[in-house]
């Protein structure tokens, strides 16, 4: 009913427009008749939203306009002071961008920019924050609107809303001086310094990674993998500074459209905004770009800010400085919501107002007009506001003491605590003008502890921090209506009160799957997951310090995997955690899983589990078939385990036969769980006691259209 009503309203709006009857509008959508459905869906999102997300939206169809788009928009802007955002739905064929004639090193060229639809002339910045959904395919346009609807109306609760990934390429490129290339990391470091305290910022810089070579091709596979891993966990924003083109980041192919795009699969409601200060990343005309694929074909992005053509480092630096200065100001001091288009157009205005004499907005080859938004310009940013009153921090802490983390909001709502190691820096040495130079930059410190919880939790500082001078806390809380964050200054470590409470034992280690405890010779599927529960009164060491972090390996310790804090969840306070261990895809048949874990007093424990790995996850197996006791006198139990059916009713039939093959009794059982036990008292079908002797039993297990049988012998001795 709501959707039908809105469609009627939108048709009335279009009719009023034709009759030159104006009304207050916040958001203008321009599209074609063939793409009108996607425009209506976006209009529905905002017109059905409650404050502060609500916007008045008007839709205009280019194929019914009496005037040009420029004249139409100019009249709207002059007559409606509330209008802030413009969305164009259609590719360069449907609605071509106005172009600016530019003389660059390679000669004359025409540079496109949707800015020119709303600027007074091509030497002035735009008056509306403009975005574009660059497709003529209605299905793709509607797919984007569905992502947008989930992002706004059904956002996932979590600290991802305050998470930023800062990425730069490394300092090596052919025919370019290293002091020039290193600017990418320097500019990223500048952003990090301004936003890191109030956000969960992760730095992924090229100089932090070892390169690999295939002939003359230079690659940074570790950086690529980390980017994809962090992205797939969800983030509010990802920022890249470096070289690139429409399909690739940097000469090292840090992110490559053909190679990596299918590996990026972010939950619908945790999609990031991509900001790429690289040439051509925002280009959509006459190319099949990575940006278009991220926006329209995958769960990769909710919106993208990039340049349509080549852009200089100077322009990019100034644009990003303004963008992040406004963002951190909003986080620290702002109220209400902030939309992507607000930051976008303010950054362009900064370029124009502060640097008119240098033509930073209108310079021929790399003007600020080259930045565009692919996606919705009115999208509300998910960042919380800073509130230093939601959590009180100690001035110092003692190792192995238990500290309660109790927010001052008294709400049993989502909370997220992150504890960070000391600040980390890297020195880059390079040659500049014939002399050696040095630049020191910061990168995000390692995470000592992370915990998502409701209400309150606790924290036990591990002995590993004895060499630390300090640690830092970051805290995020979220209710239905409020998102807030805070952070601590440096909290000093005091080691004089260290107590081990005479605890000389390491953690207990239990193995589970599907919420059931596993025993030796359990069957698991190839590529499946085993959950490991680690418990200790002094808590589990999650500081990831060298030698004391939890780890696992299969069969031998030649190659082990560290269990990182992001792989684990706390079960009860800070004493019990459950961690996920992925079964390698190349293991099969009999294997042994080993787990090593340390408590916060650095007591270690190792446990192991023998497993049978099967290749077909749909295979139905019964295993560990036992009859106990055997021989028996009064009663016995037929027991077995089943794989992958722990929450499903399974029918079991046990037929008992004499040695001549005569059926004596049938035992029926229906139950759930992966351990089945069926009792037999040694009587026949008429409840008569059977004589001593050896009998044959056959167990048939039935589930749907699957069945499996096992045969054995049992002796009765009274």
How is 54-116 classified by DSSP, letter by letter? ---EEEEEGGG-SS-HHHHHHHHHHH-TT--EEEEES-TTTSPPPEEEEEETTEEEEEE-GGG
30-53 average pLDDT score: 92
pLDDT for residue 477 = 93
Query: Is residue 1 scored above 50 in pLDDT?
Result: no
Burial-class residue 350 by CB neighbours within 10 Å (0-12, 13-18, 19+): buried
Query: Is residue 609 scored above 80 in pLDDT?
Result: yes
629-655 average pLDDT score: 80
- Tell me: domain 104-386, CATH 3.40.50.1460, correct? yes
- Tell me: domain 508-614, CATH 2.60.40.650, correct? yes
Per the omega criterion (within 30 degrees of 0), is the bond before 358 cis? no
438-466 average pLDDT score: 88
CATH number assigned to the domain covering 622-716: 2.60.40.4070
Q: What percent of the chain has pLDDT over 70?
A: 88
507-519 average pLDDT score: 84
Q: Are strands 129-133 and 212-214 parallel, antiparallel or unpaired?
A: unpaired
- Tens of pLDDT along 87-98? 999 999 999 999
What band does 385 get if pLDDT is binned at 50, 70 and 90?
very high
What band does 192 get if pLDDT is binned at 50, 70 and 90?
very high
170 or 433, which is more confident: 170
- Considering the chain, what is the average pLDDT of its residues? 86
- DSSP code, position 538: T
12-34 average pLDDT score: 71
359-369 average pLDDT score: 72
554-575 average pLDDT score: 78
Q: What sign does the CA torsion over 525, 529, 534, 540 have?
A: positive
Query: Is residue 518 scored above 90 in pLDDT?
Result: no
- Tens of pLDDT along 527-537? 788 999 999 98
Q: What percent of the chain has pLDDT over 90?
A: 49
Q: Which one, of 275, 208, 205, lies nearest residue 239 by Cα?
A: 275
Least confident of 368-382, 426-440, 626-640: 426-440
What band does 2 get if pLDDT is binned at 50, 70 and 90?
very low
Domain 104-386 and domain 508-614 have a common topology: no
pLDDT for residue 450 = 85
481-501 average pLDDT score: 81
Least confident of 3-12, 83-92, 123-132, 198-207: 3-12
678-696 average pLDDT score: 91
Instruction: Return the domain boundaries, the chain.
Output: 104-386, 396-494, 508-614, 622-716
Query: Is residue 23 scored above 90 in pLDDT?
Result: no
Query: Is residue 171 scored above 70 in pLDDT?
Result: no
- Tens of pLDDT along 419-431? 999 998 988 777 7
pLDDT for residue 285 = 93
């Amino acid at each position: 009913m709501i959707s039908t009503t809105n469609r009627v309203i939108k048709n009335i709006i279009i009719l009023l427009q034709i009759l030159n009857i104006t009304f207050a509008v916040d958001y203008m959508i321009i599209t074609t008749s063939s793409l009108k459905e996607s425009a209506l869906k976006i209009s529905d999102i905002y017109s059905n939203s409650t404050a502060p997300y609500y916007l008045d939206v008007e839709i205009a169809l280019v194929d019914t306009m009496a005037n040009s788009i420029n004249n139409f928009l100019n009249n709207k802007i002059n007559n409606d002071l509330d209008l802030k955002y413009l969305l164009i739905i259609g590719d360069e064929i449907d609605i071509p961008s106005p172009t600016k004639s530019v003389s660059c090193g390679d000669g004359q060229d025409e540079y496109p920019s949707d800015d020119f639809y709303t600027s007074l002339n091509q030497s002035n910045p735009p008056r509306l924050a403009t975005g574009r959904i660059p497709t003529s395919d209605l299905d793709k346009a509607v797919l984007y609107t569905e992502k947008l609807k989930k992002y706004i109306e059904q956002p996932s609760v979590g600290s991802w809303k305050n998470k930023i990934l800062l990425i730069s390429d490394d300092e090596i490129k052919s025919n370019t001086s290293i002091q020039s290339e290193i600017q990418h990391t320097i500019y990223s470091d500048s952003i990090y310094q301004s936003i890191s305290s109030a956000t969960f910022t992760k730095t992924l810089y090229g100089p932090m990674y070892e390169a690999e070579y295939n002939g003359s091709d230079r690659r940074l596979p570790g950086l690529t993998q980390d980017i994809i891993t962090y992205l797939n966990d969800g983030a509010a924003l990802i920022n890249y500074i470096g070289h690139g083109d429409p399909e690739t980041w940097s000469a090292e192919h840090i992110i490559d459209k053909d190679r990596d795009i299918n590996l990026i699969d972010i939950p619908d409601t945790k999609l990031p905004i991509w900001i790429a200060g690289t040439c051509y990343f925002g280009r959509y005309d006459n190319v099949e770009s990575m940006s278009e694929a991220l926006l329209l074909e995958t769960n990769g992005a909710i919106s993208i800010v990039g340049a349509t053509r080549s852009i200089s480092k100077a322009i990019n630096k100034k644009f990003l400085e303004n963008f992040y200065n406004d963002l951190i100001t909003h986080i620290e001091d702002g109220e209400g919501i902030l939309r992507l288009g607000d930051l976008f157009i303010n950054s362009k205005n900064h370029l124009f107002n502060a640097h008119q004499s240098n033509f930073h907005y209108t310079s021929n080859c790399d003007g600020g007009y080259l930045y565009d938004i692919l996606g919705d310009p009115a999208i509300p940013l998910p960042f919380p506001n800073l509130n230093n009153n939601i959590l009180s921090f100690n001035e110092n802490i003692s190792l192995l003491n238990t500290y309660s983390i109790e927010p001052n909001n008294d709400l049993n709502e989502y909370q997220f605590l992150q504890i960070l190691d000391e600040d980390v820096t890297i020195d880059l040495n390079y040659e500049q003008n014939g002399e050696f130079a040095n630049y020191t930059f910061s990168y995000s410190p390692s995470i000592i502890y992370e915990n998502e919880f409701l209400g309150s939790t606790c924290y036990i500082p591990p002995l590993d921090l004895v060499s630390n001078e300090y640690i830092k806390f970051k805290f995020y809380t979220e209710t239905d209506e409020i998102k807030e964050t805070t952070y601590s200054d440096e909290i000093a470590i005091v080691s004089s009160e260290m107590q081990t409470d005479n605890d000389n034992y390491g953690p207990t280690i239990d193995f589970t799957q599907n919420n059931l405890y596993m025993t030796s010779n359990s069957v698991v599927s190839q590529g499946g997951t085993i959950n490991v529960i680690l418990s200790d009164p002094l808590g589990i060491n999650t500081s990831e310090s060298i030698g004391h972090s939890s780890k696992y390996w299969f069969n031998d310790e030649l190659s082990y995997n560290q269990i990182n804090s992001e792989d684990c969840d706390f079960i009860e306070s800070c004493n019990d955690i459950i961690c996920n261990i992925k079964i390698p895809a190349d293991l099969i048949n009999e294997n042994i899983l080993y787990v090593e874990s340390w408590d916060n007093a650095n007591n270690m424990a190792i446990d192991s589990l023998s497993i049978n790995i099967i290749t077909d996850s749909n295979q139905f197996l019964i295993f560990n078939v036992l009859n106990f006791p055997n021989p028996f006198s009064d009663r016995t139990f037929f027991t077995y385990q089943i794989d992958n059916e722990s929450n499903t009713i399974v029918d079991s039939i046990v037929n008992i036969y004499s040695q001549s093959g005569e059926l004596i009794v049938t035992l029926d059982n229906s139950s759930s769980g992966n351990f089945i036990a069926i009792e037999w008292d040694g009587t026949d079908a008429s409840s008569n006691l059977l004589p001593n002797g050896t009998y044959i039993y056959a167990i048939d297990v039935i589930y749907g259209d699957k069945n499996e049988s096992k045969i054995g012998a049992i002796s009765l001795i009274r």
